[in-house]
Chain A
Amino acid sequence: MSYEPTIVAFLCNWCSYTGADLAGTSRMKYASNVRIIRVMCSGRVDPTFVLSAFKEGADGVLICGCHPGDCHYHEGNYKCLRRYHLLQKYIQQMGLDKDRLRLEWISASEGRQFAELMDSYTETVRNLGPCKMKQVIETLT
């Protein structure tokens, strides 16, 4: 069987998760590689969640929040953005490509954009090849 990436996506409840639901109610079709985890706010995405996803074998991690200025909790997405830049540096030091972690803004009305993002990001991660983090950790421990 050829390589199919697995992507873990953290979506905020108010904008992005609703946008993903809208893609569903509009019957838009997209790649089935993404597994969604709902959090109330992208600000809740703890760095350990992202690292744990890689540890468990994710090939890519996506975080989606409300557009800047639209956060249901005023500024959680900004907190997430700051953390994202640090995390990207961190995963690169671990030897992962920076594209394995992506932050995108998806509003509640952007079902189309969500579906397109799922396809394009799946393609990006597919081109990166399998993430070996899980095996590396297993070998080391």
Chain B
Amino acid sequence: MEEEKRIGVYVCWCGTNIAKMVDVVDVAKEIGKLPNVVIAKDYKYMCSDPGQEFIIKDIKEHNLDRIVVAACSPRMHELTFRKALQNAGLNPYMFEMANIREQVSWVHTDRGEATRKAKSLVAAAVNRIAWHESLDKRTVDINPATMIVGGGIAGISAALEIGNSGKKVFLIEKEYKLGGHLAGVDLTYPYMYSADQILKPLIKQIANHPNIEVFLNTQIDEVFGYVGNFETKITPAGAKEAELKFGNVIVATGLKPYDPGGIENYGYGKLPNVITSIEFEQMLKKGKIVTKEGVEPKNVAIIHCVGSRNKYYHEYCSRICCMTALKFSNQLRSALPDTSIFECYADIRSFGKGCEQFYTQTSGKDVMFLMFDQKNDLPRIRKAKPKDGCDMLIEFNELLSGEDIEVPADMVVLMVALEAQENARDMAHAVGVSMCGNEFYIERHPKLDPVATTTDGVYIVGGCQSPKDIPDSIAQARAAAARILATINIGQVEVEVTTAVVNEDICCGCQTCVNVCPYTAISFDKEKGVSVVNEILCKGCGTCGSTCPTGAIRSRHFTDKQILSQIEGLMSTSIELQEV
């Protein structure tokens, strides 16, 4: 059955990214000798327009029917090249990528070794592609409704963006009211706008919005379906169960403040006048800054990086605390002109528009900045004696002067870190997004695709992705809204066709596949005595394929034949090259 295959192989330099560590010319030359390879070339940037044109031209001129590109990760440019194939009139699945950048040139240091490895990966791709088959793209209609989980500033912004364009939004909030953390904020840095003035008009717009349906006191347990056609069941408090259907999901579940009780040095929970930044914000909002004893504090110390940038707590920077601390100093200075203010910091991070100016402006307001070394011992807070004339003393080695100092304080504000929500993992499972080590959600690509996720139709915005301030949250929310509106506008979306398929002639009806499928996509046809795959429900994980005892199930685009040939190609060159 060996019909002639006409394979074109393209080895990318990626500028110097690959060419520096891999002899791309040699790879192309050696691979060109393999059976079925009609041409093998190297080129500076395969993903560039001229690079793609190059492939398209060759396909037409040399009548190529399969293309292998050895370049970056397929996670980066597989779709780019599939489109190029389509433009040349080839089926997009007649394409395979060999990852010789992320998994070769960037991680190895010996040019000879790296070149050998690249050759074996490309040979494997050539072997695999000989068994590729054309697959027809399937398109499904997009339900124009969107579900947004989380009614903080990010969720609200996304809801309005989509709702105002005339599309339906279901806005789900677990609390009894909208607003999230911003509802608890008094003024916002660096321009001192009132949070209420930002938030309240938006909430009012939502309340009267014809396209936005709000569900308060509601949690999402599970979401079924796929891009364009999701559904979930919700049970709002005091209401009966409702079923929602929608085409896209925005996760805007936010984050939560860190509980500083675990940091012994700060005595939170034991010393009554040690409070968190969240608690201090509430005082500001009420307009009354007083100690537990009910008096105005004469000395206020603000401690930065509480639970942030520290290997024992969270290693990341929580991004908003430095500027919030400066905002506290500003508000304190206006409210209590005679109070001494101490900012005990590890580093001041004042990136962002207007923030460096805000820092300069605050340091001119009789605020004392004292630096501590976070890598060694954290400042220690202790109860003062009556003769000290204050409630507490904070001891630490001041880094810039090198002196051991004691800072008097009647109130200590801990700038607590921001961390992932308690139920971040449950939510991740419900909608199918991945989490990084600290349980924030992972975007599809850290630079090129910051609001989409690896699950089509599911977007992440705001604090659930990483700590961020109001403008960043809003920017992400509106970006996700724009992405969703674009897909709704097209009305249809292409879905993966790499699903499983049963060969009824071989299926013995053992139903093992029915039991292993996580999506209940396989059912048993009693009349025929064979298993049947529902292609809409199948997500193409391939578990059934590796379980089927007769080989009746084929995982499209990851067939046994394709992977076994890939292994063969990988090893044939590895062995050969080792013996040379």
User: Chain A residues in contact with chain B, CB under 8 A?
Assistant: 1, 4, 6, 8, 13-15, 17-18, 20-21, 23-25, 27-30, 32, 35-41, 43-49, 52-53, 56-58, 69-70, 72-76, 79, 83, 107-110, 115, 134
Contacts and interface: CB of A to CB of B under 8 A. Distances in A.
B254 to A, nearest CB: 20
A1 to B, nearest CB: 7
- The list of the 10 closest CB pairs from A to B, nearest first, reads A24-B102, A44-B542, A43-B543, A56-B571, A46-B546, A73-B541, A109-B436, A41-B541, A24-B106, A21-B102
Contacts of B106: 24-25, 27
Interface of B: 73-75, 99, 101-104, 106-110, 113-114, 116-117, 120-121, 124, 425, 429, 432, 434-437, 442, 454-455, 498, 516, 518-519, 539-543, 545-547, 555, 558, 560, 563-564, 566-568, 570-572, 574-575, 578
Given A40-B555, A76-B543, 15 more contacts: A1-B578, A6-B575, A20-B103, A21-B103, A32-B113, A35-B120, A43-B543, A44-B545, A47-B546, A48-B564, A70-B434, A73-B539, A73-B543, A107-B434, A107-B436
Contacts of A18: 75
Contacts of B454: 14, 72
Contacts of B555: 40, 44
Residue with the highest number of chain A CB atoms closer than 10 Å, among B75, B541, B572: B541
A35 B124 contact: yes
B572 A40 contact: no
Contact of A24 (B103, B113, B519, B563): B103
A70 B539 CA distance: 16
A14 B103 contact: no
A75 B454 CA distance: 17
A37 B563 contact: yes
A70 to B, nearest CB: 7
Contact of A45 (B113, B116, B546): B546
Given A21-B73, A72-B454, A73-B539, A44 B558 contact: yes
A48 to B, nearest CB: 7
A110 B113 contact: no
B496 to A, nearest CB: 9
Nearest to A83: B546
Contact of A53 (B74, B120, B546, B571): B571
A3 to B, nearest CB: 9
A44 B571 contact: no
A109 to B, nearest CB: 4
B541 A32 contact: no
A14 B540 CA distance: 13
A96 B110 CA distance: 30
A61 to B, nearest CB: 10
Nearest to A25: B102
A32 B567 contact: no
B543 A58 contact: no
Residue with the highest number of chain A CB atoms closer than 10 Å, among B103, B107, B116: B107
A110 B436 CA distance: 8
Contacts of A27: 106-107
Contacts of A13: 75
Contacts of A109: 436-437, 442
B330 to A, nearest CB: 37
B546 A37 contact: no
B543 A79 contact: yes
A39 B574 contact: no
A52 B103 CA distance: 23
B141 to A, nearest CB: 25
Nearest to A4: B578
Contacts of B434: 14-15, 70, 72, 107-108
A17 B74 CA distance: 10
A29 B109 contact: yes
Contacts of A17: 73, 75
Contacts of B572: 56
Contact of B558 (A21, A25, A40): A40
B533 to A, nearest CB: 15
A109 B454 CA distance: 14
B570 A41 contact: no
A75 B563 contact: no
Contact of A74 (B435, B518, B571): B518
B578 A6 contact: yes
A58 B567 CA distance: 9
Nearest to B121: A35
Contact of A76 (B437, B541, B564, B566): B541
A1 B112 CA distance: 14
Contacts of A108: 434, 436, 442
B74 A56 contact: no
Given A73-B541, A79-B547, A109-B437, A49 B74 contact: no
